[in-house]
Structure 1
Amino acid sequence: MIPMLQTVPALSSRPEAIGAPDSQAPWAPGAAWLPEAGLPQDRHARIAARRCFVDIKQRFMAATALVDGPRGDWLRYQVRQTQEPLDLWLLRGAVFSALAGEGRTTERAQSELQGALDSVFPNAGELLPYGVR
């Protein structure tokens, strides 16, 4: 006698293959795993980083408000478009250059801006262009 072979359902008839939600899948509703949920300290770290970015961006906006004309308009636009601290870091040379030689008010703005940059990017002072400090 020949033993009967068990048939396996075709791949396309299995619920996973046709897109039916699987209760064990991480993307299923009610799943215990949520992307970007993280631990509470991770959330606090993200909030602290965002606050720091907003603070330095406001300082950049205050500094660029002292620059008149089309150059000041361009700098303000560039600062408004930033999404990360690195974007502001890349704009620092243009901002410091625009503030150079404008007077006592801009010297104060430069020192405040430099302090904010040092708080976000510690030990990066050697990367500044010559004469900016």
Structure 2
Amino acid sequence: MAARRSFVQVKQVFIEAVAGLAGPRADWLRHQVRHAKEPLDLWLLRGAVFAALRTSDQADHRREQELHRALDSVFPDTTHSAPAPWGA
């Protein structure tokens, strides 16, 4: 139950992060975030979300920090890096 609650909290942070973005790429991101079913789905979207936030007219470093904290709460040992390759 706690894991599900954590996922929902992280998903909410992602939803809020992409809510103010504009354009077709932002529409795609909103769709992908809304349909995420598990933490890994959000983990795989993180690069696209961070890139969109950085190129947005409303670049918001606070929002990026919130996303990093949210991801750290679900993936504490990642330090914002890519997942390890298979067999590593």
TM-score past 0.5 threshold: yes
Say if 2:53 and 2:59, in contact at 8 Å, map to a contact too.
no
Deviations 1:12-36 (A, max 9, x none): xxxxxxxxxxxxxxxxxxxxxxxxx
Q: Note the C-alpha offset of 1:103.
A: 5.7
- 1:86 alignment counterpart: 40
Where does structure 2 lack aligned partners over 5 or more consecutive residues? 83-88
Map of 1:121 onto structure 2: 75
TM-score (norm 1): 0.57
Alignment-mate amino acid for residue 54 of structure 1: V
Q: Is the 8 A contact 1:66 1:106 kept in 2?
A: no
Deviation at 1:107, TM superposition (A): 1.2
Aligned residues: 82
Backbone CA RMSD of aligned residues: 1.6
1:99/1:106 contact within 8 Å kept:
yes
- In structure 1, the gaps of 5 or more residues are 1-46, 129-133
2:17 corresponds to which of 46, 52, 63: 63
Q: CA deviation at 1:126?
A: 5.1
- Identity value in percent: 56
Q: Normalised by the size of structure 2, how large is the TM-score?
A: 0.84
Secondary structure in structure 1 of the residue aligned to 2:28: helix
Structure number with the higher helix fraction is 2
